[in-house]
Amino acid sequence: MSAEIETDVVSEAGPEAGTDEVAGETSEDRTDEDRTDEDRTDEDRTDEDRTDEDRTDEDRTDETEPADAEQDAASGGGDRVSRLEQEGDIAADYLEELLDIADLDGDLDIDVEADRAAVSIVGADLSQLVGRDGKVLEALQELTRLAVYRETGERSRLMLDVSGYRADKRTRLTQLGAETAAEVAKTGEPVSLDPMSPFERKIVHDAVAAAGLRSESAGVEPRRYVVVLPA
């Protein structure tokens, strides 16, 4: 008789006790297998569980970049030229306002050269916009690029020239590179040139390469220089 009573008590208490135990469980008590997707936080989810909305730019792979590159290629060079012409127009507006403020007379020429916008200021006496060794011109170019960036949101490689300063320097540096290459070819000894800006070094490198020799940059900015090497 007592055994039957004990069995009844167990059978009646068992389901209720089991139900209370599950209901009383917290999210911390459950294992990863027991927890539902709603219980799991972003930290708990693996990369496979997280949706594209959950993932940050850093989480995403570069899978979209080839598609973007294909889009740019498909758009053709016309759009690129249009963007560069727009950069030139923005730069010209900025420079024209600057000339008015400084009470300087100058004409602005806009062009696209070597896949970059090119703006030239031509005037009677604009030496103050060039400065010693072109330092003022370099600073003005950076300010103009910032003005373009402010309008377009894209970094600009625009080149600025004043009174033909850069054009004359390009001619002189091209000649220097060719003459130095000829000297190195004759003597077989490397020659180091004076420190130059990145723009100037690029011109010399191109001239040396055109002569069939090698060159490299050495040193640390702002004292970085070109070394012309024998073939």
Please indicate, yes or no, whether the overall pTM of this predicted structure exceeds 0.75.
no
Name the band, by pLDDT with cuts 50, 70 and 90, for residue 164. Answer: very high
Second-level CATH architecture of 167-229: 2-Layer Sandwich (3.30)
Position 20 pLDDT exceeds 80: no
Question: What are the angstrom distances between the C-alpha of 225 and each of 165, 171, 212?
Answer: 21, 18, 20
Position 50 pLDDT exceeds 60: no
Per-residue pLDDT, 13: 45
Strand runs (DSSP E) across the chain, as ranges?
107-113, 116-122, 159-162, 191-192, 214-218, 225-229
Per-residue pLDDT, 166: 92
- Tell me the backbone φ, ψ of residue 76, rounded to 5 degrees: 85, 170
Domains 77-163 and 167-229 share a fold: no
Contact 45, 59 (CB under 8 A): no
Under CATH, domain 77-163 is a member of which superfamily? K homology (KH) domain (3.30.300.20)
Domain layout of the chain by residue ranges = 1-60, 77-163, 167-229
Position 144 pLDDT exceeds 50: yes
**CA–CA distance, 112 with 159 (Å, rounded to integer):** 9
Give 169-180 pLDDT, tens digit per residue: 999 999 999 999
Name the band, by pLDDT with cuts 50, 70 and 90, for residue 133. Answer: confident
Per-residue pLDDT, 76: 53
